[in-house]
Structure 1
Amino acid sequence: MKNWRSQLRVCRGVKGEKKKRIEEMSSTLVIADYVVIVMMLLVSSGIGVYYRITGGRQRTTEEYFAANRSMSVTTVAIALMASYLSAISLLGVSSENYVYGTQYAVVNIGYGLATPVVAHLYLPVFFKLQATSAFEYLQLRFGSVARLAASLAFFTQLLLYTGVVLYAPALALEATTGLSSTASILGIGLICTFYSTLGGIKAVLVTDVFQSLLMLVAVLTIIVTAAIHAGGLDRIWDTAYDGSRVEFTSLSLDPTVRHTWWSLVIGGFFTYLSLFGANQVQVQRMLTVKNLRSAQKAIWWSWPLASVMSLVSCFSGLAIYARYKDCDPLSSGRITSNDQLMPLFVMDTLSRYPGIPGLFIAGIFSAGLSTVSATLNSLAVVVLEDYAKPLCKMRGSEISSNVSTLASKIIAIVVGLLCITMAFFAQYLGGVLQAALTIFAVVGGPVLGLFTLGMCTRYATQRGAVTGLLIGLAFSMWIGFGQPKPSPPRLPVSTAGCNETYVSDGATANFERAQSTGDSTYFYLYRISYMWYCPLGFIVCILFGLLGSGLFRLIFKENNENLHPNLYMSVGTSRQAEVLGRSDEVECKNET
């Protein structure tokens, strides 16, 4: 035991000295970089101020949350893409291709297949209703219990994920650029809360356009720099191919294989449906245009925009590999997480150009801002429409339009502070980063199943549907969080080109452990790829929702056959599916 402890002390001493040497050789941000970052934050804030001044007093929640249905198709299409992508996406997709290869890019096919389903089946139902909260549909189709259960699951999901969106990029930037993670979290969180609260959904959407441009510039900067260094884009591709990073042929039917054509296309299909067909963030954005046809155009345009950004991010991972193919930063001990690869690349290659690293960080911040602003506005809708207003109705009172608008802004501030708090709390929960990424699938699948039960079947009842939702959530969380997951095998890396300063004594051992997955020691369902969590949760919810509905129909003699036909999916023209109208709302309320 003493010998083991003495070796540990020696190891820690070596690592401490190595870390000190690396920090001494690492580049840091300069004044020009901070000026670029501050300018980006000021522009985002200025958009909120502008729309607060030009938007008048914002007397109604329709104006604050739906921009009076006056947004353009182009703006909404870009905003749909921006709120879908986050800083975690930019950092994570590039590192995914660096570490595991290009197979992940196939997921965009699943997204493309899901686009017409969202545009022509799910979206018309929401557009007929014209509700501020997507969960109001569940109130009309099933009842208040279904609405509350789904909105609570969504609220928890989004709050946790937003905390991670703030924390994970801040941690990566701190490790590679020296920018304080606390300053990053507070800067993004407070600025985003400021302009989202002040300007409402219109400010959020317009800011998304500006931030999307910065996101694209940040990723293209990586690719252009790597291409100059490598001698062209073709050299980057050839280097990635020689390093076994180019792969599009995984056709295995084994669901425990992390990424295959089947898991990516099918899993991507259901993930996209859950994000765009049953998610308050995206539904709210699509309802800010004037009619259904415009909303369908926006969703159709958002898919190629998101795919282009995704594919560019994928290629940026290959570009980074071309730089570090002979000296892997993780194996050499320069970084502690693959998510730090992109900012490390920027500091290694562009720190000699003042302001360029700042432009890259502004792009990462923009990705975080677009996601957090979408969250703040949508969660404010949920709190007001799904919790506050129903509670007041239960007490026999109503919230006036002026009070609703003021309450919306106060709620947005409170939600923003909650997200910032969650980001700091994430620092002390080591496993919460991976857990928060997985929770989008384990919550999104069952919630999608609940909406689908309502829109596709007249047979489903509230008790049965809620039973399906709860069992689906329990099952998804069990396979998602039931046990720590085996580490997937990484593609080979090299440290042959590293100088002595950057070589870590434990690099070889760490890599060998990463290669060993230990699959045989894990329960089979715990080994299933995370890409299957969403479709499995969806199927379980549908199955038990229908079985439960049949059982409860027999026991309680439930009958909900007299609901308004516009609460169900129908394939028709945009003109036929325009607007149900608020005046018809009483007709389609569920009397049960």
Structure 2
Amino acid sequence: MRLFGASLFVLKAIVWLPIAVYVPALTFNQVTGIGVHTITPIVIIICTFYTTVGGIKGVVWTDAVQSVIMYGTLVVIMIKGTIDVGGFGVLWQRNLDGGRLNTPEYSLDPTVRMSVFSVFVGGTFFKLQNTSINQATIQRFMSLPSLKHIKQTLFTFSIGLTLLYMGCIYVGLVCYAVYYDCDPMATGLAGRRDQLVPLLVMRVLGVVPGLPGLFVSAVFSAALSSLSTLLNSLAAVILEDFVKPRMRTIKRPMTERTVALTMRLVVVVFGISSIFMVYVVEHLGMVLQLSASLQSSLYGPMLGIFTVGMLMPWVGEKSMFVSSIVSFAIMAWIVVNAQIENLTGSFRHTKLPVSVENCTYDFDMNRYLNSTAEVESHSGSSVYHISFLLYTMTGALLNIIISNVATFLYFGRQDVNSVDSLLLAPFLQRHLLKKSQYESVRLKSRATIVESSD
């Protein structure tokens, strides 16, 4: 199971690394006009270099500096953008008139992309896997001196992440308020939704020398932070779970120099592979949804593995292994088909109306008319159309259910007393195991009494 989990992490890294590279490259392309495939190798080389040389300490320190730049730039965009549109009142009214401040949908329909259910329930499961079983996160927690420091860090991280999301939402409101009467997507000024914010930055901050560069540095900071963290964690996983066990099998101990060279080689190899994977990522739709979908489809079953391991000691390894493969296959099937249907246009989400009535430049009117055409209701299996925010929850629940079914119908229950109590949740350690141990002692005592009487 450990090897299977490590394999899922490596697969997740392979598909996610090029996404982390593609985001800043796309922004740089919108701001400067330099091609995406020109800037991508430069980003990867820089990140690979300081990750290889600095290790986890270098990653943490660069992340700290990059976070300051990222938050600072976000605040500048929010303040300057609000002033340019005429103040918060104008910003709010434009979004209200444009239907951007609509109340959340309280539907339990899983195909609703952004309902209250999918955001709060599905989003909770998504962040749970990201902060609880993600190797990159756990590796940082393990570098702290005590459990108390880990809890403090997690609390601070939660507040910071909430503020970041709120800031991004506000930037979205600013973006609509600026382009409310001339939508850049409808006119072709922005080729992808991911280019709207860079376009906003050039309009809002372009009049002040240096500020667009500050935004570009913030985007690069966020991407490099994620990229370096994942590369460092990937090197550790491959070394501990794939290389060292093999070296022990052939009875060849690894020296510190060999360990260092192995980890650096892993970072370099996967860094270079990301350059070529960018060509695939750029054809797969919105970056945010793609990233969340891929992570959730892989880490959903992984969350199920950890949940069963900590809460259900009666489930054995065979049951867990079979259910993990089945749940992973099901989630991969759902995600791949969902991406295909999104790319082919057989399934689309309804878009809010946009306007081009006050555009001051020439554009193709046919493009605008096509972008505002009525979207047909989706067809085909609704399984492909569940919200991407629910993928983690779906994968985890599938793994939990299938593993228990396999346990009770095929492989049988595992002896609870054979499980290391330190691997279980605290309340199980206090109640279930003690009760089981007491029952075992009681049965042994009864057997002894029966033998004595005979």
Instruction: Using structure 1 for the length normalisation, give the TM-score.
Output: 0.68
Decide whether the 8 Å contact of 2:313 with 2:414 is kept in 1: no
Q: Decide which of 401, 407, 411 is 1:549's aligned counterpart.
A: 407
| 1:294-305 paired onto structure 2 within 5 Å | 294-305=149-160
Residues 315 and 414 of structure 2 are in contact (CA less than 8 Å); yes or no, is this contact kept in structure 1?
Answer: no
The answer to whether the 8 Å contact 1:214/1:366 transfers is yes
Pairwise CA distance, 1:249: 3.1
Aligned partner (choices 503, 508, 531) of residue 369 of structure 2: 508
Per-residue deviation, 1:315? 0.2
Q: Which residue of 2 aligns with 1:59?
A: none
For the 8 Å contact 1:177–1:343, the answer to whether it is kept is no
1:29-79 alpha-carbon deviations (Å, 9 max, x no partner): xxxxxxxxxxxxxxxxxxxxxxxxxxxxxxxxxxxxxxxxxxxxxxxxxxx
* Residue 410 of structure 1: aligned partner: 265
The residue number in structure 1 matching 2:115 is 260
C-alpha distance in structure 1 between counterparts of 2:314 and 2:251, whole Å: 32
Distance in 1 (alpha carbons) for counterparts of 2:417 and 2:259: 34
Matched with 1:346 is 201
8 Å contact 2:231–2:271 — kept in the other structure? Answer: yes
Cα shift readout 1:512-536 (whole Å, capped 9, x = no counterpart): 1xx41432x2212122111211111
Q: Tell me, yes or no, if the aligned pair for 1:447 and 1:538 is still in contact at 8 Å.
A: yes
Q: Are 2:69 and 1:198 aligned? A: no
Residue 518 (str. 1) matches residue 390 (str. 2): no
Structure 2 Cα separation of the partners of residues 323 and 465 of structure 1: 52
Query: For structure 1, which segment, 182-191 or 464-473, has the greater mean C-alpha deviation from structure 2 after superposition?
Result: 182-191
Q: Equivalent residue of 2:334, what SS?
A: helix
Of residues 529-538 and 363-372 in structure 1, the stretch that sits farther from structure 2 once superposed is: 529-538
Q: Percent identity?
A: 29
Shift of 1:458: 1.1
SS of 2:426 mapped into structure 1: coil
> Which residue pairs with 1:563 in the alignment?
419
Using the alignment, how far apart are the partners of 1:524 and 1:381 within structure 2? 39
Change (3 A) 1:307 1:436: closer
CA distance in 2, matches of 1:182, 1:509: 29
**Structure 1 pair 185–560 and aligned structure 2 pair: CA distance change class (3 A):** farther
Which amino acid in 2 is paired with 1:263?
S
Shift of residue 205 of structure 1?
0.8
Q: Give the distance between the partners of 1:432 and 1:470, measured in 2 at CA.
A: 28
Aligned AA (1:438): S
Residue 494 (structure 1) aligned with residue 343 (structure 2)? no
Code of the aligned partner of 1:351 = G
With 167-176 and 521-530 compared, the bigger mean Cα shift is at 167-176
From 237, 247, 263, the equivalent of 2:92 is 237
Could you tell me how far apart the structure 2 residues matched to 1:535 and 1:356 are? 40
Q: Is residue 294 of structure 2 the alignment partner of residue 439 of structure 1? A: yes
The answer as to whether partners of 2:231 and 2:267 remain within 8 angstroms in 1 is: yes
Residue 444 of structure 2: aligned partner = none
Aligned residue identity for 1:505: N
1:34-53 residue pairs with structure 2 within 5 A? none
* Mapping of residues 457-476 of structure 1, within 5 Å: 457-476=312-331
CA offset at residue 502 of structure 1?
3.8
Per the TM alignment, residue 330 of structure 1 is displaced from its structure 2 partner at its CA by 0.5
Return 183-192 or 434-443, whichever deviates more: 434-443
The equivalent position to 1:332 in structure 2, one of 162, 169, 187, is: 187
Are the equivalent residues in 2 in contact too, given 1:169–1:364 (CA < 8 A)?
yes
Q: Which amino acid aligns with 2:372?
A: F
Counterpart CA distance in 2 for 1:203 and 1:517 is 51
Runs ≥4 in structure 1, deviation > 6 angstroms?
none
Equivalent residues of 1:331, 1:507 under 8 A apart = yes
Is the 1:281–1:378 contact (alpha carbons within 8 Å) kept by the matching residues of 2? yes
The number of aligned residues is 422
- Tell me, yes or no, if structure 1 residue 450 matches structure 2 residue 305: yes
Aligned-partner residue type, residue 518 of structure 1: S
In 1, the alpha carbon distance for the partners of 2:280 and 2:145 equals 41
Say whether the 8 Å CA contact 2:21–2:44 is kept in structure 1. Answer: yes
How far apart in 2 are the matches of 1:453 and 1:447? 10
Deviations 1:402-430 (A, max 9, x none): 42233222222222222233224535x54
Residue-by-residue CA offset, 1:135-177 (whole Å, 9 max, x unaligned): xxxxxxxxxxx11111111111122111012124413431453
Tell me the residue number matched to 1:149. Answer: 4
Q: Give the whole-Å Cα distance in 1 for the aligned partners of 2:398 and 2:21.
A: 32
Whether 1:527 and 2:385 are equivalent positions in the alignment is yes
> Which sits farther off after the overlay, 369-378 or 242-251?
242-251
Task: List runs of 5+ in structure 1 lacking aligned partners.
Answer: 1-145, 573-592
Q: Helix, strand or coil: the match of 1:482?
A: helix
Q: Secondary structure at the match of 2:350?
A: coil
User: Is the 8 Å Cα contact of residues 200 and 377 (structure 1) preserved in structure 2?
Assistant: yes
Task: From the superposition, tell whether residues 499 and 160 of structure 1 become closer, same or farther in structure 2 (CA, over 3 Å).
Answer: same
Distance in 1 separating the partners of 2:335 and 2:293: 7
Amino acid aligned to 2:98: G
| Residue in structure 1 matched with residue 233 of structure 2 by the alignment | 378
TM-score by length of structure 2 reads 0.88
Take 2:285 and 2:94, find their aligned partners in 1: how far apart are those partners? 34
Q: Which has the larger radius of gyration?
A: 2
2:178, 2:285 → 1: CA distance?
A: 30
Summarize the alignment of residues 163-312 of structure 1 with structure 2, pairs less than 5 Å apart: 163-312=18-167
Asked if the contact 2:23–2:223 (Cα under 8 Å) also holds between the matched residues in 1, the reply is no
Counterpart in the other structure of 2:221: 366
User: Residues 220 and 282 of structure 1: is their aligned pair in 2 closer, same or farther, counting only changes over 3 Å?
Assistant: same
Distance between the aligned counterparts of 2:121 and 2:251, measured in 1?
A: 47
SS across alignment from 2:366: coil
- Equivalent position amino acid for 1:534 in 2: T
**Does structure 1 conserve the Cα–Cα contact (< 8 Å) formed by 2:12 and 2:294?**
yes
Residue type of the partner of 1:546?
N
RMSD over equivalenced CA pairs, Å:
2.1
Offset at residue 432 of structure 1 (A): 9.3
Q: Distance in 2 between matches of 1:180 and 1:213?
A: 28
* CA distance, structure 2, for counterparts of residue 511 and residue 172 of structure 1: 26
Shift of 1:349: 2.9
Quick check: 1:435–1:481 contact (8 Å CA) kept in 2? no
Q: Give the drift of 1:539.
A: 0.5
Bigger mean CA offset, 470-479 vs 400-409: 400-409
